Amino acid sequence: MPKHYTVSDGELVLFLWPAEEGGYNVTSPLDPALITQAESVEEAFVMARDALELLNEATVEKHKRAPKRTAKPRAVRRSTRISRSSAE
């Protein structure tokens, strides 16, 4: 398993995975959708906050565009039993 570093600034927790090309691949245990890259620990926090802001904006936009679900009236089926008397 590749070695990673866990860093926090008191508000945000990040995992820094050393990248083959240098710098770090950045993820967060607090939001699995957060994935970014950075050259330093300081830049990792800047990039992570930027990514979180974009993720939040995308989520808000998604909810704005989602069609509102309304309850459709359901047909009610009623049955009535009529019993016939055999004395007729």
48 lies in a domain? yes
Checking if the pLDDT of 53 tops 60, the result is yes
Put residue 27 in one of left, alpha, beta given phi > 0 → left and psi -120 to 50 → alpha: beta
**Side-chain-side CA neighbours of residue 63 (13 Å):** 5
Average pLDDT value for residue range 65-81: 63
10 lies in a domain? yes
User: Residue 58's domain spans which residues?
Assistant: 5-65
42 lies in a domain? yes
Checking if the pLDDT of 59 tops 90, the result is no
Q: pLDDT: is 76 or 21 the higher one?
A: 21
Quote the number of domains for the chain.
Answer: 1
Of the candidates 49, 43, 46, which has an alpha carbon nearest to the alpha carbon of residue 30? Answer: 49
Run of H or E including 79: none
Please, is 23 exposed, middle or buried when counting C-beta atoms within 10 Å of its C-beta (0-12, 13-18, 19+)? middle
pTM: 0.66
11 lies in a domain? yes
14 lies in a domain? yes
pLDDT at site 56: 87
41 lies in a domain? yes
Band of residue 72 on the pLDDT scale cut at 50, 70, 90? low
Checking if the pLDDT of 3 tops 70, the result is yes
